[in-house]
Structure 1
C-alpha cells in the first residue's frame, strides 16, 4: 500500500510559511464527501451496510461522526466517531490514510461488560472503485492493533488480553502477501466457567487461571492462489500448545471476485430464503476451484498430560502411573470401533510413545497429489473412512 508523506518543512521562516500554505491548500482540496463515500463502500461488504451521521475536517484529518455498521439480519453496531489521519488523494481517485483511530469499545449487556482500547489501523488504502480485481481492492490496510481487551461478569474479570497486533506484508511486485497476528497476555479465570464439571476438573488439575498467547502466520501466493496457514497456534502456560497448519490452492483473484459478487447479489435479494439458497449454490460452484494440499494438528505438552493421568487415576483410586498403563491397555479395544486397521495401528503406536514420555502428538494429512475440495466433501458424506486413504492421514508422536 502506498503511503505518501507530507511536504517537508525547512527551518527557515519563509520556507515554513510557504510549506504551511501549500499544505493548507492540499488539505482544502480534499473532497471529503467523495472520501467518506468510498470509505463506506469498504465498510459495506458481504451484506453489511456502513453509514455515518456527519463529516468533520481539520487539515488532512477527516472524522466520520456516528459511524454505524448494520450486518444483514443482525442488530446494528454503533462505532461512534472514527478519525482518519494523514489523508491524501491519489491521481487515480483513490486515497491513502496514515492512521485510523476508532473510539474505545465499552459495552455492557445483562451484567457482562466488554472493553477494548486503543484500536487503530495503519496504512489504510481506499480504492477509487470496488472491483476486487487487484490487491488494492482487497487489501485495505497494512496493520491493525488494539490495546488491552477485558471482559467482566458482574464486576469480576473473566477474560483479558494485553493486546492484538496484526501486520500485512505485501511484496513490491504484488506476487505474495503475508499476514501475521499476535495476541499477547491472554488470561481466563476458571471459576467463571458455567458448566460445573469442567470447572471442577480444571481446579483439580491445579488451574485457577489459564494464561497464554495467540499466533497466526499466513502466506498467500497471489497468482497460483496457494494459501499456506503456517501456524494458527494457541499456547497456554503449564498446559501446552495447540497448532494448526493448512495449505490449499485455487484462492485466486478470480475466486475472490466471484465470492464478492455472490455476496453482493445475496445482499440485494429481498427474499432472505432465496438469497441464502442462491448463495449456497454459488459457493458450491466456487469450491470446485479449490484443492487441498496438506493439513496438520499438533499438540505440544507442557505438563497437562501428567496432571490429567494423575487426576483420572485418582477418580479410579489408582496412581497416575497405573492410569497410564491402563489407558495403554484399553487403547486397542477403544480403537477397534473405528474399523480402520491401518489408522488404528498408527494411533495406538503414537499413543504409547506419547504416554511413556509426553512430548507432542501430530495428526497430519498430506496426499500424494492435491485433492479437489468437492471430492473430500463427497467422500466425507459417503464413507468418512475413505478419507484416511484419500488424504494420506498419519498419526505420529514426539516428532
Structure 2
C-alpha cells in the first residue's frame, strides 16, 4: 500500500508540475504584434495605415507606441501612444477592446496650431478578416468622444469647441450601421480674425461673439450602398440653423475600395497636374455607380435675417423693413436670368413669405425615381435649366 501510494503520488507530481507550468506559459497571453497587425488590416480598409515603434502588452492592455496615421497623399499625423484596454481575442481570430485612449494632439503647420485632448473610443470590434463586405468585417465601435478642441493662428485662438460625442450602432438585422455625432460648445474667437472688415461686419450685425453647435445623423446600408444623411447641421446661437440632408444609393464596399485605389494611384503619380486630371476622370467613372434619391437644404432663422436686412438697410439709409420690400421688388428681375419660369415663381413666392415672416427656407430635390449622378452631371453640362425638372426641385418657406 505504501509503495502504491508513492507510485501514484510520483505519477501525479509531473502532471501537476506540467499544469502549473502551463499556467505560467505566455501562450495564453496577448500577442501585441498580432493584435497590431489586425488593427492595421482593419484601418487599411479606409485606405490608410498605422506606423508605430512597438506593440507593448501589459495584461489586457496593448499600447502602440509613437503611432503615426498614414493617409495617401497627406502628411503623417503624429498620434502618440494608442492605448487599447480590455483587449480580448475572439474565437474567429479578431479582437475586441473596451476602450482606446488616444494621446492628445498638438499639431502645428506654418502659423496654424491644432490641439485636441481627451480622445477616447469605446466598444471596439476589430474583425478577423476586414473588408470582405459584411458588417462583421468592419472596424466598429460604440462611441467616440473628445475633450476641448482649439485652432489658433499666429498665436491667437480662432476657433474652439468644448467637445465631440459620436455614437455608432447596428441597423436592424445587421443590415448596416447608424451614426450620430454632436459637436458642442463651438465658438469663433474675434481676436483670431485677421480681417478688420470681417470683425466690423460681425459687430454691425450685433454679434459680440459667435457660438453654436453641429450635429450629424446618418445610416449606411451595406448591400444597397444606401447612405441616408438625415442631418448635417450647423446651429449658430441667435442666428439660425443650416442643415443639409442627402439620400443616395450605390455607396457599397466595392465603391469604397475603388475610391481608395484611385487615391493611391493619384498619390503615387509624380506629376501633380496629371494626377489631378486622372483622379477627376476616375471620379467621373465612379459617379456612374451612385444614384440620388433625394436632397434638401434648410435654413431655420433665429434673428439672422432681420439683422442682415437692418445691416444693408443702414447702408442705404433705409429701415430693415424697407430693405425687405426692396429685396422682394428686385428678386423677379434677378431671377429672370434663370430662364426657368416655374422655378422662378417658386423662389419668388417663398422669398416673399420668408422676408415678411422669417421662419424657414427649404430647397428640396425629390425625384420620382432615383437619378444616376452621371445623368445629373451630363444634364448640368449640356443644359442646366433641365435639372430643376429632372430632380423635381421645390422651394418653399415656413412649412
Interval containing the TM-score (normalised by the shorter chain):
0.7 to 0.9
Deviations 1:65-96 (A, max 9, x none): 11112333433221111101111111211111
2:151 aligned partner = 151
**Residue 172 of structure 1, CA deviation:** 5.6
In the other structure, the counterpart of 1:211 is 211
1:359 equivalent in structure 2: 359
SS of alignment partner, residue 386 of structure 1: helix
Greater gyration radius = 2
Show CA shifts across 1:282-312 (max 9, x none): 4433322211111110000001111111111
**Distance in 2 of aligned mates of 1:331 and 1:106:** 48
- Give the structure 1 partner of residue 13 of structure 2: none
Matches of 1:381 and 1:195 in 2, distance apart?
Answer: 37
Shift of 1:109: 4.2
Does the CA contact (< 8 Å) of 2:290 and 2:373 recur in 1? yes
Structure 2: distance between partners of 1:332 and 1:271 = 48
Residue 369 of structure 1 and its aligned partner are, at CA, apart by: 1.3
Instruction: Tell me: CA distance 1:49–1:100, structure 2 relative to 1, closer, same or farther (3 Å).
Output: same
* Cross-structure match for 2:37: 37
Which residue pairs with 2:182 in the alignment?
Answer: 182
Q: Unaligned regions of 5+ residues in structure 2, if any?
A: 1-20
Could you tell me which residue of structure 1 aligns to residue 128 of structure 2? Answer: 128
Distance 1:196 1:56 in 2: 52
**Equivalent in the alignment of 1:238:** 238
Asked whether the equivalents of residues 41 and 50 of structure 1 are also in contact (C-alpha less than 8 Å), the reply is no
Query: What's the CA shift for 1:274?
Result: 7.1
CA drift of 1:176 comes to 3.3
* Cα 1:22/1:355, change in 2 over 3 Å: farther
TM-score (norm 1): 0.87
- TM-superposed CA distance for 1:247, in Å, is 0.7
The answer (yes or no) to whether the contact 2:126–2:138 under 8 Å persists in 1 is no
Q: How does 1:3-22 map to 2 (within 5 A)?
A: none
SS in 1 for 2:337: helix
**Partner in structure 1 of residue 299 of structure 2:** 299
After TM superposition, list the pairs within 5 Å mapping 1:328-339 onto structure 2: 328-339=328-339
Q: CA deviation at 1:125?
A: 1.9
1:222: how far off?
3.0
Residue correspondences, number: 379
Kindly indicate whether the alpha-carbon contact (under 8 Å) linking 2:45 and 2:131 is maintained by their aligned counterparts in 1: no
Quote the Cα distance in structure 2 between the aligned partners of 1:208 and 1:101.
37
Confirm or deny: 8 A CA contact 2:135 2:175 kept in the other structure. no
The SS at the match of 2:375 is helix
Paired residue for 1:4? none
Q: How many Å separate the matches in 2 of 1:131 and 1:383? A: 40
Per the alignment, in what secondary structure is the counterpart of residue 337 of structure 1? coil
TM-score (norm 2): 0.87
Within the alignment, does 1:87 sit opposite 2:90 as a pair? no
Distance change in 2, residues 1:47/1:260 (3 Å): closer
Cα distance change on mapping 1:93 and 1:307 into 2, 3 Å: same
Runs of 5+ consecutive residues of structure 1 not aligned to the other structure: 1-20
Match of 1:321, SS? helix
**Aligned Cα root-mean-square deviation (Å):** 2.6
Range 233-242 or range 162-171, more displaced: 162-171
SS in 2 for 1:173: helix
Instruction: Identify the residue that residue 119 of structure 1 maps to in structure 2.
Output: 119
